[in-house]
Each structure stands twice: as structure tokens, then as C-alpha cells.
């Protein structure tokens, strides 16, 4: 699979439909949507508009919550998290661009719980790929992608949104 085969508009429609269906099945009204910087915010903006959600969109920057912080250092573009409403007893739709190992989602949930105790957290992702390291599963997925060893997928944007699949560079000895 290459980036040309991934229709981002179709993936956005799929994840929006899955979120809508899940909200209806769980009888959830007025959820708070929160995007994870950076790609998750871009996807959340699109979903928020498509779903016509009334509550303001929130954003999380998980730079200080990552478990690889001591190995890779701080992200040079740390942005403040912005949660316009209290998360206590609220239903949250957490949005990210790519679900891979699950570590980003774990970090985002750790940060969310520092703000309060949500009633529930639904995970919506544009792309889910193989390689999970933690037992985290998305509730709404735009598209499942199987990549070859050494391949990575990255959302680029915000205008236009594109997905790039690249081969990881191997360090020479």
C-alpha cells in the first residue's frame, strides 16, 4: 500500500460515521472532542465540523507525558493543552491521526486524568496500523493499514491533509 491508495476523505467519512454510530449506540449526547497535537488536532477539526458537535474542540500536547521523554528529549514545538470545558463526568472523544504502538494514547489518557475524571473516553483515529505494544483499541477507525517492516505512515497538513508512507532509514555502522 502507498499513500496514493489512501483516500483521506473516505477515511474521514468512515471515522465520522463510526463515531456517530458509537455515540448513538451508547446514548451519548454533547461529548467533548479532544485532538492530540498535531495530526490528531487536524483530524479532530475535520470530525468536529462533520459531526456538527456543539461543545468547543479541545487540544492536548502530550510532550511531557511521553514514556520516551528521557530518551528522545522534549519536542521542540511544545504547545499548551487547551481544554475549554471540565472533563469531569463528561464523555470524551479522543482523536489521533495514526494508532500504532498505543503509547501516544496512553500518554494522552494520563494527561486527561490530570484534568479530571471523564465518564468515558472513546478513541477515534484516521488510520490504525499493526504493531501495538499496549492493549489499546480504537472505537472508531477510518482505515486499517498493514505496512511492511521498516515502513512508517505520517499525516502531513493541515492544508491539504496528506498521508506519506516512508521507509525508515537504517543507520550505517
Does residue 55 lie in a domain region?
A: yes
Q: Give the pLDDT score at 163.
A: 86
Q: Is the peptide bond before 153 cis (omega within 30 degrees of 0)?
A: no
Q: Give the pLDDT score at 4.
A: 40
Q: Give the pLDDT score at 34.
A: 98
Query: From CA 52, how far away is CA 146, in angstroms rounded?
Result: 31
Does residue 59 lie in a domain region?
A: yes
The angle subtended at Cα 157 by Cα 38 and Cα 137, nearest 5°, is 50
Which residues of the chain have a pLDDT value below 50? 1-4
How many other C-beta atoms lie within 10 A of the C-beta of residue 14? 16
Q: Give the pLDDT score at 158.
A: 85
Does residue 100 lie in a domain region?
A: yes
Q: Give the pLDDT score at 68.
A: 58
Does residue 154 lie in a domain region?
A: yes
Say how many domains are in the chain: 1
Q: Give the pLDDT score at 167.
A: 80
Q: Is the peptide bond before 165 cis (omega within 30 degrees of 0)?
A: no
Q: Give the pLDDT score at 2.
A: 43
Kind and range of the H or E element at 35?
strand 32-36
Does residue 143 lie in a domain region?
A: yes
Does residue 158 lie in a domain region?
A: yes
Q: Give the pLDDT score at 3.
A: 42
Q: Give the pLDDT score at 77.
A: 65
Does residue 173 lie in a domain region?
A: no
* Containing structural domain, residue 17: 3-167
Contact 166, 151 (CB under 8 A): yes
pTM over 0.85: yes
Q: What's 132's domain CATH number?
A: 3.40.50.2020
Does residue 88 lie in a domain region?
A: yes
Query: Each residue of 12-27: pLDDT tens digit?
Result: 999 999 999 999 999 9
Amino acid at each position: 500500500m502507498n499513500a496514493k491508495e489512501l483516500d483521506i476523505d473516505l477515511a474521514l467519512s468512515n471515522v465520522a460515521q463510526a463515531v456517530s454510530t458509537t455515540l448513538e449506540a451508547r446514548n451519548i449526547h454533547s461529548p467533548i472532542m479532544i485532538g492530540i497535537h498535531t495530526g490528531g488536532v487536524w483530524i479532530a477539526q475535520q470530525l468536529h465540523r462533520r459531526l456538527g458537535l456543539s461543545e468547543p474542540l479541545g487540544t492536548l500536547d502530550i510532550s511531557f507525558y511521553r514514556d520516551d521523554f528521557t530518551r528522545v528529549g522534549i519536542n521542540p514545538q511544545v504547545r499548551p493543552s487547551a481544554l475549554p470545558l471540565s472533563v469531569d463526568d463528561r464523555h470524551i472523544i479522543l482523536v489521533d491521526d495514526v494508532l500504532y504502538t498505543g503509547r501516544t494514547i496512553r500518554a494522552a489518557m494520563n494527561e486527561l486524568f490530570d484534568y479530571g475524571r471523564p465518564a468515558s473516553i472513546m478513541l477515534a483515529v484516521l488510520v490504525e496500523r499493526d504493531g501495538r505494544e499496549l492493549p489499546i483499541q480504537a472505537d472508531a477507525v477510518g482505515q486499517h493499514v498493514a505496512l511492511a517492516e521498516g515502513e512508517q505512515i505520517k499525516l502531513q497538513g493541515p492544508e491539504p491533509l496528506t498521508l506519506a508512507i516512508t521507509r525508515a532509514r537504517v543507520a550505517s555502522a
